[in-house]
Structure 1
Amino acid sequence: MDDVLVVVAFHSGHGHTARQAAAVAEGAGGTPGARAELVDVSEVDDAGWALLDAADAIVFGSPTHMGTRSAVFQAFAEATAGIWAQGRWRDKLAAGFTNSAGVNGDKLATLTSLVVFAAQHGMTWVPLGLPPGWLFTANGSPTDLNRLGGFLGALAQSPSDVGPEHAPPDSDLRTAAHLGGRVALAARRVAAGRALVGA
């Protein structure tokens, strides 16, 4: 069976979400039988659109700006109308991640918008699959995986006065890598099932 392709389609305003995207790709690409590619949605060329069409899974990522996904990501979403009309992403896997300066920052609104976007394309959503860390128990630590306690996707927090070389923290990047690996494994299972059905 050929390697499955996981494409991480993201926008990053200041570089923090780009680090999160790279961690997702690292987790996906480190999964046996999978490879990962990054596509910056602020500048999708023909090769980028071809990668998205060829993907077995697409992981969408955007910073949370003013309580929702960025305007740049929204422009990308609207640019997929022709793909939606042709059903080209139907039955691909999808997942998502987001980053904001606030610990909460209404990141859930961004993930929910990504879920709806994927559903409009007929994609199947893969959640994070981790219990909440950190403040969920008295013995929690900010170094825990899923320290921000999300379920729909991977969350990250980057203080507004800290550059991308220092944020998001390692725990958030490891959480992003976990999401990438989970999506890649799910894509492998789907591909194996399709091969069996085809046989």
Structure 2
Amino acid sequence: MLTVAIVYHSGFGHTDILARAVAQGVGEAGGTPDLLRIAPEQTDFADAFDRIARADAVIFGSPTYMGTVSAPMKAFMDASARPYFAKAWKDKIAAAFTVSGSPSGDKLNTLTTLAIFAAQHGMLWIGTGQAPGNNDDLSAATEAENRLGSFLGAMGQAANDSPDVTPRTGDRATARSLGVRVARAAARWQAGGAQAA
């Protein structure tokens, strides 16, 4: 069974909402999601690194704090020297999602940071594959999939509200679609590798 590791930190619950939407999409595409939530002040990532090494794809998630990944996510990234030097994640499919309080919040920098991190590990990046879903200012625009217009990864807006309310339906749907896309891409990649062997 194809496994997709979803490695994320969530400070206030909003990133967790998106992580669960990503996991739903992975399941809908026939994969098995493996949710790996990074705890605040976590320093031991050995179990997470091993689970990622066994996974067929990895989707990283982080809130955007002060224009980049959160400190716990950065600690995870900085600690990944062991799998980096072993090339343990090389040729795995990778993707990412993020959320911040405002529509922009410099989320693109967070996704870029995670894409570079994946590239350093020799991973293969998958974007949303979606056109922007919001090209007007109508109130219904918050329900549109990919309403924030991201190509590099899924974005959500918390609007500084409770995770019971935000991210909105459209942002959750975008995260779910990313999970579907990554699982399908990993399955194609896996099948191609099996044929080449």
Q: TM-score, normalised by structure 2?
A: 0.93
> Residue 64 of structure 2 contacts residue 99 of structure 2 at CA under 8 Å; is this kept in 1?
yes
Aligned partners of 2:186, 2:23: CA distance in 1, in Å? Answer: 14
Aligned partners of 1:126, 1:81: CA distance in 2, in Å? Answer: 23
The 1:195/1:97 distance shift into structure 2, 3 A limit, reads: same
| Sequence identity percentage | 43
2:13 matches 1:15: yes
- Aligned residue for 2:36? 39
Aligned partners of 2:139, 2:102: CA distance in 1, in Å? Answer: 23
Aligned partners of 1:47, 1:71: CA distance in 2, in Å? Answer: 19
- Aligned residue for 1:71? 71
- Aligned residue for 2:177? 178
Give 1:148 shift. Answer: 0.4
> Residue 25 of structure 1 contacts residue 177 of structure 1 at CA under 8 Å; is this kept in 2?
yes
2:173 matches 1:193: no
Task: Describe how 1:118-197 pairs up with structure 2 within 5 A.
Answer: 118-135=118-135, 141-160=141-160, 162-197=161-196
Aligned partners of 1:45, 1:68: CA distance in 2, in Å? Answer: 21
**1:16 counterpart letter in structure 2:** H
Give 1:135 shift. Answer: 2.2
Which string of whole-angstrom CA distances, capped at 9 and with x for unpartnered residues, describes residues 146-174 of structure 1? Answer: 000000000000111x1111110011001
Q: Which moved more, 1:36-45 or 1:164-173?
A: 36-45
**2:26 counterpart letter in structure 1:** A
Aligned partners of 2:47, 2:81: CA distance in 1, in Å? Answer: 18
Give the unaligned 5+ runs of structure 1. Answer: none
Task: Describe how 1:54-133 pairs up with structure 2 within 5 A.
Answer: 54-133=54-133
Give 1:46 shift. Answer: 4.7
> Residue 17 of structure 1 contacts residue 98 of structure 1 at CA under 8 Å; is this kept in 2?
yes
> Residue 118 of structure 2 contacts residue 124 of structure 2 at CA under 8 Å; is this kept in 1?
yes
Give the unaligned 5+ runs of structure 2. Answer: none
> Residue 132 of structure 1 contacts residue 147 of structure 1 at CA under 8 Å; is this kept in 2?
yes
Number of residue pairs aligned between Structure 1 and Structure 2: 194
Q: TM-score, normalised by structure 1?
A: 0.92
- The root-mean-square deviation of aligned C-alpha atoms, in Å, is 1.7
